[in-house]
Amino acid sequence: MKTVSFTQMKDGTKADYDLLAEAEKPYHALTADRILAELRKQDEDTLSGYKITRMAHGLQAATRARREGADIDWIVGALLHDIGDGLAPQNHDRFSAEVIRPFVRDEVAWVVEHHGIFQSFYYGRHYGWDANARDEFKDHIHFQTCADFCERWDQSSFDPDYPTDDLENFEPLVREVFARKAYDPDVIREGVSNGLPAL
């Protein structure tokens, strides 16, 4: 296998970085596979005291999104909003947002990034936290969308009896999203807020 000439990045040549760009293409192409594997891993444990597994929570949120007529970005965002829970439980919301950010609308990534503070609206008082901490963002273009996401798809998706679609139903959507060109401005659409589908 051909390797670069350098041992410090600052010494790399154009040929070295062209080699790396080509060598990384197969790895990038497998991003959806790694995401799906992480989701399956989340089916191995429950949400520490909840009635369902971490994967079941994501599937339930995505199922709710799809049944309400959400588009592919929202469905995948709902499915993966807690994907960072395993590696970064204290800041899983920001971790999860960074996983999807290159491939979905800015609105979806922002909502996933901030859903943790918005979710505390429902339980923060039980820990002595400010349940209204989300008000820090009350003037943000995506504030209401994040509040709606949490109300309709996140906080309500812990029900073991809810008829939830299985992961195989969402795999094509995950593959489609992660096959997109990263940071495509036609996808990202920064500063645009469409909100969730109307009920």
94 CB-near residues (< 8 Å, 6+ apart): 84, 88, 113, 116
What are the tens digits of pLDDT across the range 172-188? 999 999 999 999 999 99
What are the tens digits of pLDDT across the range 79-123? 999 999 989 989 999 999 999 999 999 999 999 999 999 999 999
How many distinct structural domains can be found in the chain? 1
Query: Is there a domain that residue 120 lies in?
Result: yes
Query: Is there a domain that residue 181 lies in?
Result: yes
- By C-alpha distance, which of 192, 150, 92 is closest to 100? 92
What is the extent of the structural domain holding 48?
A: 13-188
Q: What are phi and psi of 33, to 5 degrees?
A: -60, -40
Query: Is there a domain that residue 197 lies in?
Result: no
Which CATH number covers residue 17? Answer: 1.10.3210.10
Query: Is there a domain that residue 198 lies in?
Result: no
Q: Mean pLDDT throughout 54-61?
A: 97
What are the tens digits of pLDDT across the range 15-41? 999 999 999 999 999 999 999 999 999
Give the Cα separation of 20 and 91 in Å (integer).
Answer: 31
Query: Is there a domain that residue 194 lies in?
Result: no
Query: Is there a domain that residue 35 lies in?
Result: yes
Give the Cα separation of 39 and 21 in Å (integer).
Answer: 28
Query: Is there a domain that residue 135 lies in?
Result: yes
What are the tens digits of pLDDT across the range 154-177? 999 999 999 999 999 999 999 999
Query: Is there a domain that residue 133 lies in?
Result: yes
